């Protein structure tokens, strides 16, 4: 069978969309039938297999992708097993002579994909990968010394001087189906959904489809993200984009984000510029992960290998359950458990309490987020936790300790966020809702601290002072 007649496999991974998909467009342009494939390969993910919340999202995203492909006469073939072995089986079953996919940037996945490409090429198959999930490839952006950036502001300034490619136009109408489809599992056979119904609240919080992502992006871009700068730090308001899980699973791409704002003159508002810089922070996180692949488990700043972390299981469990006695922290942790997501400002507050007040290793927080976030992304998760611990890039001042009381009062001024997620505190007077242990009986509205809601597991001043002392010890070690 000639090249322009032989089928091509499009291997879907974290690019679960049919628009702005260069691998899919290349398969269509090749001329032969197109065989869309998803392989559930948990071992191929290395140390970072899908967490529980991510599996929930993946289940629904795969169903959504399958429905989109159906509209063009294509089927999503689903397999489970080692990616390389399954691809070779599919090549044999379908008679395909080429495999196209879009790149991922996690260290273990890079190693796996490299071996797969080498193996397929050595056997005479065409194997090509493309960029669908980033605006800039990590190896393309270098500082004046030719090295990777480690500070965000100069990184993003440099990026904004580069040309941003438009979304890839995919001619779906030209896609051809094979005469016979290979065998496939049903999405349900992957058993991605939990056996117990802890995910009930996810369905109210999310619609894991490409259509929902594009609708949310369109609304944000049409307003030029007006109010984003002002409201993005308010967890009691719908002031963020909530596009993170859609971006992680590739139901929408960053090139589409920039293109959407270009249509609405993105230079016109501070909100638009600020929002696009958050896309830049995502790019920066992938830049760091690619160049420093050890960072998911080890600090970027080597001296933090000597930081005096103190592992305390009781503290960790209280934090995980949202029972720390700090209302803004507990609200965030309960929102996370109920919806698979947490407001970004609150993520910083809860992380600060864990790694600074309690001095529990940042890796413990990263693991919990990995399992409970629907937008769990190795690059973003790693960068966020290392920033919070002070051991990563752009972490100055690394010794900053968030005050959970003041943070609550500033960013949840009416206590609405706390009341939503910590219902036992709803009767409290707004003046004391962020530090209920200081309230008198009238302000508590019948709530008993220590019975209905816990007292703080650590005093703020005590935790802050202990953290600063630990940073001073680390500083002394560095100077030796």
Together in a domain, 113 and 17? yes
Torsion sign over Cα 336, 339, 340, 346:
negative
Q: Considering the candidates 137, 181, 231, 309, report the single residue annotated as catalytic.
A: 309
Together in a domain, 355 and 426? yes
Cα(68)–Cα(173) distance, integer angstroms: 12
Q: What is the DSSP string of 441-471?
A: HHHHTT--BTTTBPPPSS-HHHHHHHHHHHH
Together in a domain, 334 and 474? yes
Q: Considering the candidates 101, 385, 387, 421, report the single residue annotated as catalytic.
A: 385
The yes-or-no answer on residue 362 being catalytic is yes
Domain edge (last residue) among 112, 131, 150: 131
The yes-or-no answer on residue 278 being catalytic is yes
Together in a domain, 127 and 139? no
Q: CATH no. for residue 430?
A: 1.10.579.10
Q: Which tens digit of pLDDT belongs to each residue from 251-263?
A: 999 999 999 998 6
What is the pLDDT at residue 268? Answer: 57
The verdict on residue 94 lying in a domain is yes
Q: Considering the candidates 63, 126, 181, 281, report the single residue annotated as catalytic.
A: 281
Give kind and range of the element (H or E) at residue 39.
strand 34-40
What is the pLDDT at residue 380? Answer: 97
Domains contained in the chain, number? 3
List of long-range contacts for 153-158, beta carbons under 8 Å, 24+ apart = 153/394, 155/280, 155/284, 155/287, 156/277, 156/280, 156/281, 156/283, 156/284
The verdict on residue 181 lying in a domain is no
Together in a domain, 337 and 467? yes
Together in a domain, 88 and 41? yes
Together in a domain, 127 and 146? no
The verdict on residue 198 lying in a domain is no
Please check whether residue 150 is in contact with residue 393, taking contact to mean a CB–CB distance below 8 angstroms: yes
Together in a domain, 397 and 266? no
Helical residues (DSSP H) of 227-326, grouped into ranges:
228-231, 244-248, 254-262, 270-291, 313-321
The verdict on residue 194 lying in a domain is no
Alpha carbon separation from 409 to 2, 352, 416, 430 (Å, rounded): 68, 16, 11, 9
Question: How many alpha carbons lie under 13 Å from residue 126 in its C-beta half-sphere?
Answer: 17
The yes-or-no answer on residue 370 being catalytic is no
Task: Phi first, then psi: give them for residue 458, nearest 5 degrees.
Answer: -150, 140
Task: Phi first, then psi: give them for residue 476, nearest 5 degrees.
Answer: -65, -40
The verdict on residue 179 lying in a domain is no
Q: CATH no. for residue 78?
A: 3.40.50.620
Q: Look at the chain and count its residues.
A: 480
The verdict on residue 421 lying in a domain is yes
- Strand, coil or helix: what is 34? strand
Q: Considering the candidates 362, 368, 370, 421, report the single residue annotated as catalytic.
A: 362
Enclosing domain of residue 60: 1-131
Together in a domain, 137 and 115? no
- pTM here is 0.95
What is the pLDDT at residue 2? Answer: 43
Together in a domain, 249 and 259? yes
Domain edge (last residue) among 131, 155, 181: 131
What is the pLDDT at residue 263? Answer: 66
Together in a domain, 75 and 103? yes
Domain edge (last residue) among 110, 131, 152: 131
The yes-or-no answer on residue 309 being catalytic is yes
The yes-or-no answer on residue 368 being catalytic is no
What is the pLDDT at residue 323? Answer: 98
**Mind listing the pLDDT tens digit of every residue in the chain (480 residues)?**
444 689 999 999 999 999 999 999 999 999 999 999 999 998 888 889 999 999 999 999 999 999 999 999 999 999 999 999 999 999 999 999 999 999 999 999 999 999 999 999 999 999 999 999 999 999 999 999 999 999 999 999 999 999 999 999 999 899 999 999 999 999 999 999 999 989 999 999 999 999 999 999 999 998 888 888 889 999 999 999 999 999 999 999 999 999 999 866 545 578 888 999 999 999 999 999 999 999 999 999 998 998 999 999 999 999 999 999 999 999 999 999 999 999 999 999 999 999 999 999 999 999 999 999 999 999 999 999 999 999 999 876 777 899 999 999 999 999 999 999 999 999 999 999 999 999 998 899 899 999 999 999 999 999 999 999 998 888 776 655
Cα(117)–Cα(129) distance, integer angstroms: 9
The verdict on residue 197 lying in a domain is no
Cα(164)–Cα(153) distance, integer angstroms: 18
Encode burial over 132-162: b for 16+ CB neighbours within 10 A, e otherwise: bbbbbebeebeeeeeebbbebeebbeebeee
Cα(418)–Cα(408) distance, integer angstroms: 9
- Strand, coil or helix: what is 171? coil
Q: Considering the candidates 86, 278, 283, 364, report the single residue annotated as catalytic.
A: 278
The verdict on residue 296 lying in a domain is no
What is the pLDDT at residue 365? Answer: 98
Q: Cis peptide before 43, with omega less than 30 degrees from 0?
A: no
Work out the widest C-alpha separation in the chain, in whole angstroms. 83
Together in a domain, 109 and 153? no
Q: Considering the candidates 45, 63, 231, 344, report the single residue annotated as catalytic.
A: 344
Please check whether residue 436 is in contact with residue 426, taking contact to mean a CB–CB distance below 8 angstroms: no
Cα(286)–Cα(50) distance, integer angstroms: 18
The yes-or-no answer on residue 281 being catalytic is yes
Q: CATH no. for residue 162?
A: 1.25.40.80
């Amino acid at each position: 069978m000639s090249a322009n007649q032989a089928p091509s496999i499009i291997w879907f991974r974290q690019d679960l969309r049919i628009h702005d998909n260069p691998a899919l467009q290349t398969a269509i342009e090749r001329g032969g039938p197109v065989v869309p494939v998803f392989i559930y390969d948990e071992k191929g993910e290395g140390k970072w297999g899908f967490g529980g919340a991510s599996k929930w999202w993946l289940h629904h995203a795969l169903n959504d992708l399958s429905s989109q492909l159906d509209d063009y006469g294509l089927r999503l073939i689903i397999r489970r097993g080692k990616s390389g072995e399954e691809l070779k089986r599919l090549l044999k079953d379908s008679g395909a002579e080429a495999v196209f996919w879009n790149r991922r940037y996690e260290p273990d996945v890079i190693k796996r994909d490299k071996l797969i490409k080498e193996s397929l090429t050595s056997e005479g198959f065409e194997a090509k990968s493309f960029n669908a999930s980033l605006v800039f490839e990590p190896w393309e952006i270098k500082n004046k010394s030719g090295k990777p950036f480690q500070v965000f502001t100069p990184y993003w300034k440099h990026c904004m001087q580069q040309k941003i490619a438009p979304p890839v136009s995919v001619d779906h109408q030209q896609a051809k189906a094979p005469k016979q489809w290979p065998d496939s599992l049903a999405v349900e056979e992957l058993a991605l959904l939990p056996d117990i119904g802890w995910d009930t609240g996810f369905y109210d919080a999310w619609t894991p489809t490409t259509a929902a992502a594009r609708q949310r992006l369109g609304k944000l871009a049409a307003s030029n993200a007006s109010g984003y700068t002002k409201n993005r730090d308010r967890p009691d308001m719908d002031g963020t984009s909530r596009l993170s899980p859609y971006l992680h699973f590739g139901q929408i791409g960053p090139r589409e984000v920039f293109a959407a704002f270009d249509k609405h003159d993105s230079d016109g508002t501070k909100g638009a510029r600020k929002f696009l810089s958050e896309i830049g922070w995502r790019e920066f996180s992938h830049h760091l992960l690619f160049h420093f692949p050890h960072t998911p488990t080890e600090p970027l700043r080597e001296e933090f290998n000597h930081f005096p972390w103190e592992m305390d299981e009781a503290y960790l469990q209280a934090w995980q359950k949202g029972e720390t006695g700090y209302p803004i922290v507990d609200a965030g942790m309960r929102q996370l458990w109920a919806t698979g997501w947490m407001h970004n400002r609150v993520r910083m507050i809860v992380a600060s309490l864990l790694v600074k007040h309690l001095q529990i290793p940042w890796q413990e927080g990263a693991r919990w987020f990995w399992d409970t976030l629907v937008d769990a992304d190795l690059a973003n998760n790693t960068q966020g936790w290392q920033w919070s611990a002070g051991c990563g890039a752009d972490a100055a001042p690394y010794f900053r300790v968030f005050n959970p009381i003041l943070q609550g009062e500033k960013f949840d001024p009416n206590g609405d966020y706390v009341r939503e997620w910590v219902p036992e505190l709803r009767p409290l007077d707004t003046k004391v809702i962020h530090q209920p242990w200081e309230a008198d009986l009238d302000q508590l509205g019948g709530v008993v601290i220590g019975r209905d809601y816990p007292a703080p597991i650590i005093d703020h001043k005590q935790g802050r002072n202990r953290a600063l002392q630990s940073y001073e010890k680390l500083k002394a070690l560095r100077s030796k």
